[in-house]
Structure 1
Amino acid sequence: MKLSTKVEELTNIIAPAVAACDVALWGVEFVPQGRRSLLRIYIESLPEEQAQDKQVTIEDCAAVNHQVSGILEVHDPIAGEYILEVSSPGFDRAFFSEEQMRDYIGQTVSLRLIQAIGQGDKKRRKVTGNLDSMGATSLILTATDNEQFEITFSNIDKANLVFEDA
């Protein structure tokens, strides 16, 4: 889950503006789309507010949008037009770092891999299953077909939590 240089640059510019709005930055996505790009910012409540079951509100998103818009006008890191979206990560949240995944050990995750894993004709680049454990450089996942995999973090292209209604 290595972030692109552009996303790292944008994250460094955006993070102080998000913090000024008393919310936490969960992640940043930047999708160049020809003449008009998409910049998507995910925010969540601060840890102490999460302990009190406080959620991100529309007002939080609007405040971050306003703050970040001003910062982006000053720094001008995106060539051409872009659309700015601000939202919470949601129930099926994307993970932007290995550290974010550690809080979800024991839950179901969906991974898109760079290199296929598995044996013979069962090789796959997408795998969904229970996140059993995490080490320093890899994770252990038991797929929905009960096959267990050790997957290095460097082989993960995208990772998402899978929402399961209790």
Structure 2
Amino acid sequence: MQINEKSIVEKVRQLAEPIIKNLGFKLFDVEFKPERGWVLRVILDKDGGITVNDCEEVSKRLSALLDVEDIIPTSYILEVSSPGLTRELTKPEHYEFFKGRLIRLVLREALEGKRELKGYIVDVKEGILQLREKDSGKMFHTPLSIVARAHLEIEGW
């Protein structure tokens, strides 16, 4: 059986977004991938963080809707979770949501001689991340296309 992961992710995103928005949360990401069987992972966020009860409520509502819509042609496990304190940033809207927060970037190619940057998100526009380096205060204009990995950092630890 051929499974189109991207198509399933997009369909789940379309079904989940209204439910999640109605509950006052933000849809952070959707993943569908094989991990000892298929896993559908729906990741939520909101100001102040997501609770276990929040995940449970979304899981119940989304599970019922997915059963009715029957868009996934194989058995799977539904996981609803928060992205965690050191969440990975993978989309421009993630950077936008966390403006002002401290992040760590690993770059595919050096930018001004650096392959890693740690700094505060100033802005993101047209695929360019503006980052104020934590230690020096220097501004970097980093194309998102060269970011290999980006994570929020916890300050004060």
CA distance in 2, matches of 1:109, 1:42: 19
Aligned residue number for residue 73 of structure 1: 67
Equivalent residue of 2:28, what SS? strand
Secondary structure, counterpart of 1:118 in structure 2: strand
1:25 matched to 2:24? The reply is no
Gaps of 5+ in 1: none
Where does the alignment leave 5 or more consecutive residues of structure 2 unmatched? Answer: 1-5
Identity among equivalent positions (%) equals 29
Candidates 117, 126, 131, aligned match of 2:109: 117
- Tell me the TM-score normalized by structure 1: 0.68
CA contact (8 A) 2:13 2:30 kept: yes
For residues 47-86 of structure 1, the C-alpha deviation after alignment (integer angstroms, 9 at most, x for no partner) is xxx4xx5x43222111111111111112222232211111
Distance change in 2, residues 1:10/1:158 (3 Å): farther
Distance 1:112 1:103 in 2: 20
Distance 2:97 2:24 in 1: 21
Give 1:138 deviation, angstroms.
0.8
Residue of 140, 152, 157 corresponding to 2:143: 152
Partner of 2:3: none
Q: In the alignment, which residue of structure 1 is the partner of 2:40? A: 39
Question: Contact 1:23–1:44 (CA<8 Å) still a contact in 2?
Answer: yes
Aligned counterparts, 1:94-105, within 5 A: 94-105=88-99
- Displacement of 1:15 in angstroms is 1.3
The 5-angstrom pairing of residues 76-91 of structure 1 reads 76-91=70-85
C-alpha RMSD over aligned residues: 3.1
- 1:123/1:68 Cα in 2 relative to 1: closer, same or farther (>3 Å)? same
Contact 1:27–1:96 (Cα < 8 Å) also in 2: no
- The 8 Å contact of residues 26 and 96 in structure 1, kept in 2 or not, is answered as no
State the partner residue of 2:101: 107
Kindly state the Cα deviation for residue 155 of structure 1 after the two structures are TM-superposed.
Answer: 4.0
Q: TM-score by structure 2 length?
A: 0.71
The residue that corresponds to 1:164 in the other structure is 155
Q: Is the 8 A contact 1:18 1:67 kept in 2?
A: no
Residue in structure 1 matched with residue 55 of structure 2 by the alignment: 61
CA gap of 1:96–1:148, structure 2 versus 1, over 3 A, is same
Could you tell me whether the CA contact under 8 Å between 1:108 and 1:128 is conserved in 2?
Answer: no
CA distance in 2, matches of 1:155, 1:32: 27
Distance between the aligned counterparts of 2:77 and 2:149, measured in 1? 22
Residues 109 and 146, structure 2, Cα contact 8 Å, conserved in 1: no
Q: 1:80 to 1:6 in 2, by over 3 A?
A: closer
Single out whichever of 81-90 and 15-24 deviates more from structure 2.
15-24
Aligned residues: 149
